Structure 1
Amino acid sequence: MSTDTTPETIRYTADVVLFAAGHVLLIERGWDPHAGCWALPGGHVDEGETSLEASVRELEEEAGITIPASDLRQVGAFDAVGRDARGRYVTVAYTATLPSLVQPTAGDDATAARWWPLDTLPDLAFDHAEIIEVALSR
């Protein structure tokens, strides 16, 4: 047991698992960790913002897709130690399903955004494969 009494810094993030027509929306990360890897749209929760509000904002910023917060439902919180190389990160993931594919436009921190068929997903950054699996089971 550690004798260090300094509180651990925990960062708060939100991710979005957006489905449509047997596909999931992914963004290609433009920076480390996992630069060049595919991941769910998401990012840090800003001061004064809820994770739900952050998920709507991050989806729009990274993929150019806007959906109302009322269309999102919570998948769960993901807080495994070591899930992010930068330190302790806790994410709350949300999911929604669109009636059809909508053309994404990469922006903000994403170098690309595209729909991937659920049966041919690439290797994903962080624990995003697990998050997608949980979202599919709900």
Structure 2
Amino acid sequence: MSDTHETHAIIRYTADVIAVTDDGRVLLIKRGWDPYEGHWAIPDGHVDEGETGLQAAVRELEEETGVRVAEDELRLAGVWDQPDRDPRGRYVTVTYLTTVPADTQAIAGDDARDACWWPLTALPQPLAFDHADILATVLPPTS
């Protein structure tokens, strides 16, 4: 009888929110912590024990930017699970998309240094993690 050992990765579960205005801007936060401290990123965070990814997305968006949306205002945009997408280890993120009025105010909170609405045609570079790829997939350029 052979002895087999399976190796399983520790996977952390996060939720991202792509909030866009009806006039074509996207909400980004400036990270106040490593990794990617000082880089712009999509609002995101860990899913806490006892909550769904959708609940975490609503909570993280409000904590980091002050923007409040209801769960039914978010729609699933995709799942990103590339093994090397985060230097801290294996992270799987569920990304949601919401559209808000152009006059929606955002104020940095939680661990964000800043929160700002950026034109989709003039995003800061480089973005943290794989957020440029996520935005390009979810919000492809219009011609």
**TM norm structure 1:** 0.93
* TM-score normalised by length of structure 2: 0.90
Aligned to 2:77: 75
* Gap regions ≥5 residues in structure 2: none
Q: What is the letter of the counterpart of residue 132 of structure 1?
A: L
Corresponding residue for 2:67?
A: 65
2-structure distance, mates of 1:22, 1:76 = 20
Are residue 135 (structure 1) and residue 138 (structure 2) matched?
yes
CA contact (8 A) 1:75 1:134 kept: no
CA–CA distance in 2 between the matches of 1:48 and 1:26?
27
1:98 to 94, 97, 100: 100
- Looking at structure 2, the residues matched to 126 and 4 of structure 1 have their Cα atoms a distance apart, in angstroms, of 32
Give the paired residue count.
135
3-state SS of the aligned residue for 1:35?
Answer: coil
Whose Rg is larger?
Answer: 2
Show the 5 A alignment for 1:43-54: 43-54=45-56
Determine the C-alpha separation between the residues in 2 that align with 1:104 and 1:47: 27
For 2:13, the equivalent position in structure 1 comes to 12
Question: Contact 1:17 / 1:93 at 8 angstroms: preserved in 2?
Answer: yes
Query: Residue 16 of structure 2 aligns to a residue in which SS?
Result: strand
Post-superposition shift, 1:68?
0.5
TM-fit CA distance, 1:4: 6.3
Aligned AA for 2:94?
V
Alpha-carbon separation, structure 2, partners of 1:81 and 1:7: 12
Post-superposition Cα deviations, 1:66-114, rounded to whole Å, max 9, x if no partner, equal 0011010000100011100000000000001113131101011101000
Which whole-Å deviations, capped at 9, do the CAs of 1:95-136 have from their partners, x for residues lacking one?
011131311010111010000010110121011111112222
Q: Distance in 2 between matches of 1:107 and 1:80?
A: 28
Measure, in 2, the Cα distance between the counterparts of 1:76 and 1:116. Answer: 21
Q: Amino acid of the residue matched to residue 20 of structure 2?
A: F
Q: For the aligned residues, what is the CA RMSD?
A: 1.3
Contact residue 73 and residue 94 of structure 1 kept, 8 A: yes
Partner in structure 1 of residue 110 of structure 2 = 108
Rounded to whole Å, the distance in 2 between the matches of 1:52 and 1:101 is 24
